[in-house]
Amino acid sequence: MVLMVSSILLPASNFGIVSSEVVCCDSIQYNLMFSGSSSNGLLSPFESSLGSEQKSEVGSAITQSTEVGRWSGQTNFGGEYPSHTATFILPYKINDGAGVTINATVELRLGSETNTGSTPLPQTFLPGENGVLELDIDVSSGTLLAEDSIIVIFSVQELLLPTGSNPSIEFLWGTSEYLGSISLEAPLFDIEINEPIIEGRSAHVPVKFNSGYGSQLISESNFEFYANGNLIEQLPVSTQGNLLTWTWAADNNVEDGSFPFEVKINFQNGTTVNAGTEFEITFGDSEGNNYFYPLTEPIRTGGTDLDVEIEVDMSSDIEKTIKLTIKENVAFWMRWGLDNMGNPSLNTTSWLRSLAPTNSDYYQNRVLDNAEVSSFEQQIRQTELNNFLGQGLGIDAKRLLGLDRAEFDYVGVEILLNGDETVSNTPITLIFKTRQANTAGQEHLMLDNFIKPYFDESDRIWSSVNFNLILNTDSINGVFLRDSTEIEVTQTRLIFTEKIIASTTFTQTDAPLLWVQQGGSPLESPLAIFLICSIIAFAGLIVSGFLSRGKNKLMLISEIIILISLGFILYFLSIEFIVVLIAAAASSSLWIITAIFSGSRDDDYLSDSNVLTNADPLDFDNITSFNCPNCSTKVNISSNERPLRVACTGCNKVLKIVD
C-alpha cells in the first residue's frame, strides 16, 4: 500500500522528527516454524529458532485420538486478520515399511478463536520411506491481540502401520532439513516511514519497524530502500533496535519537489513486503553528509559477522597479532564512539561515557581525527581493554587473547580506519598485539568461544565468527596439538619452522576449542629432528653402500627411495619425534640387512669387458683349455676369475665358465 503524504520540512539544523506515516501492514502471509520438544514446542517466524532435530515417534497402531505434537508462541503484535487458508507442514520418516495409512487433524488457535483441518476421509496413505504431510486449515477472519498466543496441536485419530519386524513412523521438525511449519496470514509488524531529515542535498529517511520481536526482525531480515526510484546501496544507520535510517544523496541536477520512497523487507525465503510513501523535499545549499549522524548512541546489536585473523610467532617467547575486522552496525558504533568519547548526554550505562574526551576541537566534528584515534588506543591499552571488549563488543577478553591482561609482558592496540575517516559503516580493523616471555613447555589457548552469552535475541551483537589462525615456530622450538574441537587443523614441519593452520566458523552456541603445547626441549624442534634423523639415515646409507659393493643394488635402491620418501612425509606432517626417529632407525637397519643379503650383480659377468676370447694374449704358464661343446673347437682359458665368459673362435658362441 502506498500513501501519498505531503509534509512541511523542518529547518536543516533541526534533527527531530515531526511526523510519520504507517504505510504497512494489516496482515501478511508468513510461516511460523516449529522447534523444541513435542510436548512443549515453540513457534517462531525466524530461522534462527531452528537448531537440533526433534521428533515424535509412533511405533504402534492408533485407534483413538492421540496428540503427537504441540507448539505455541506469541508475536506480541495485534491486529485484524482476514479469512484465509493456513497450511500445516510436517516431515515424516517411515521405518521398516514403505508407507502408512493415517487419519489426522491440526488445531490452530489464534487467541480465543479455534480452527481445525484434517486429512481427507476416510483415510490418507503416506507413501514412501519419507515425505511431508500437508494439511489445509480454513481460518475465519478475526482479531489477534498483542498478548494472544498462537497454538498448533497435531493429533492422530487412526494409524495403520505396515507389516514388518519393527515398523514405526517418525514426525520430524526443528532443522532446515526437516522444516515443520504452519503458514498463515496474520498481523506481524507495521512499517512507519518518517519525514526525511534534510541536510543540504542529503535526505536522511528514518524507517521504523514495529513488531513484538524488536531488533530481531531487523537482524534477521534483508532490506532494499529506494529513493526517487533509485536503490540506495549504502547500509542504513541503526539508531534504535527497530529504527533504520537511509541516506539519499541527491544529485545536483535534482530540483525540489515531491519524491517517492519505498522499502522492501524480506524476512523469510519468499516472504517480501513492500511499503512506500511520498514526501515534499526542499534541498539546502550544502553537499550534506552521506551518512546520518545521530545525536544519540547508535546500536551495535542486531547480528554482524566478525572476521578474526590470528598470527602467532613462537620462539622462547610467544607473540600474537590478533586482527578483528569490524563491520556494519558495530563499525558505525565504533566510529561514532571515537567522535563522542566522554559524551555526558549518553546513557549512564554506556561504556563510551566513561572514556576521557579529547580536545574540544575534535569533539563531534564527524571526522575521526588522529588525536581521537590515539586517545582511544591509549585508554584501551592502559585501563579499558576488558571493558571495551566485554561491554562494548560482547567479547570475553581472556578467551580471545588467551590470558588475562595482567599475565602478558606487553599488550598493544592499533585501530585502522581503512582509508575512511568519517562516521560511517566502513569496516574498521582492530589489532591487538601481545607478548608472553619464557613460555617453553607451556600449554597455550589459541581458541575458545569468546562470544559472551546474551539472554535476549535483541542483545545479540555477533551472528557468527569467521576464525583463521596461523602459528609458526622458529627452528629450535616445536609445537604439539593438545586439544582441537569443532575446528579444522593442519600441522606441518620443515627444517626451520613448524606451522599450524586452523580455521572454523562458529556462533555463540558452538564450542570450538584449540590448545597447543610448546616444546620444552630443543630435541623436539624441527631442526633437531631433521638433523638427528638425517644423520641416522645417512649412516645407514654409508654402511649399506659399503656392504653392497659388487652386488645387485636394485632392491636396495628401491628401498632407499621408498623409505626416504616415507620418512620425509612423517617429518613434514609433524608426526611425533619418537615415531620419526623409529622410522629413521628402522629404515637404516633395513637397508643394511638388504645390503648383506643381496646377490651378486649380473653385470659382473655379463659385460663385454669380462668376455675372454682366444684372440686375447695368453699366459702360457697358466693355460687351461677345453673343446667347445657346440663345434669342438679348442678354447683356451687363461683367467682364474669365476664366473667367466669365454668366446669360441669357431662358432662365435659365448660360453659361461662357473667352476
Element (H, E) at 595: helix 577-597
Residue 330: its pLDDT value, please?
93
Structural domain 2-25+189-281, CATH architecture:
Sandwich (2.60)
Residues 164-184, mean pLDDT to the nearest whole number: 89
The CA radius of gyration of the chain, in Å to the nearest whole number, is 40
Give the fold, CATH level 3, of 28-186. Answer: Jelly Rolls (2.60.120)
Identity of the highest mean pLDDT range in 275-289, 403-417, 451-465:
403-417
Which grid cell is 48?
534462527
For the chain, the structural domain boundaries read 2-25+189-281, 28-186, 304-520, 526-597, 603-657
Q: Which of 361, 348, 400, 354 is nearest to 380 (CA)?
A: 354
Other CB atoms within 10 A of residue 50 CB: 20
pLDDT one-digit tens code per residue, 242-271? 889 999 999 888 899 999 999 999 887 677
Residues 490-507, mean pLDDT to the nearest whole number: 94
Percent of the chain past pLDDT 70, that is, above it, reads 92
621: pLDDT confidence band, cut at 50, 70 and 90? low
User: What does the angle CA 248 – CA 303 – CA 339 come to, to the nearest 5 degrees?
Assistant: 60
Is pLDDT above 60 for 605? no
Residue 619: its pLDDT value, please?
52
Q: How far apart are CA 646 and CA 627, in angstroms?
A: 12
Q: How far apart are CA 37 and CA 592, in angstroms?
A: 68
Residue 569: its pLDDT value, please?
92
CB 503 within 8 A of CB 462: no
Least confident stretch, 255-259, 361-365, 516-520, 521-525: 361-365
Q: Which of 360, 380, 272, 358 is nearest to 30 (CA)?
A: 272
Instruction: Name the average pLDDT for the chain.
Output: 86
Residues 93-97, mean pLDDT to the nearest whole number: 84
**What own/partner pairs with CB < 8 Å and gap ≥ 24 does 634-638 have?**
637/612, 638/612
CB 265 within 8 A of CB 210: no
Residue 600: its pLDDT value, please?
56
Is pLDDT above 90 for 318? yes
CB-based burial of residue 388 (10 Å sphere; 0-12 exposed, 13-18 middle, 19+ buried)? buried
Is pLDDT above 90 for 309? yes
Residue 601: its pLDDT value, please?
53
343: pLDDT confidence band, cut at 50, 70 and 90? confident
Nearby residues of 459 by Cβ (< 8 Å), 6 or more positions away: 301
235: pLDDT confidence band, cut at 50, 70 and 90? confident
Other CB atoms within 10 A of residue 634 CB: 12
Q: How far apart are CA 624 and CA 546, in angstroms?
A: 35
Percent of the chain past pLDDT 90, that is, above it, reads 49
pTM score, whole prediction = 0.76
pLDDT one-digit tens code per residue, 379-396? 999 999 999 999 999 999
Q: How far is CA 143 from CA 22, 76, 115, 526, in A?
A: 19, 13, 14, 73
Q: Tell me which residue has cell 638427528.
A: 532
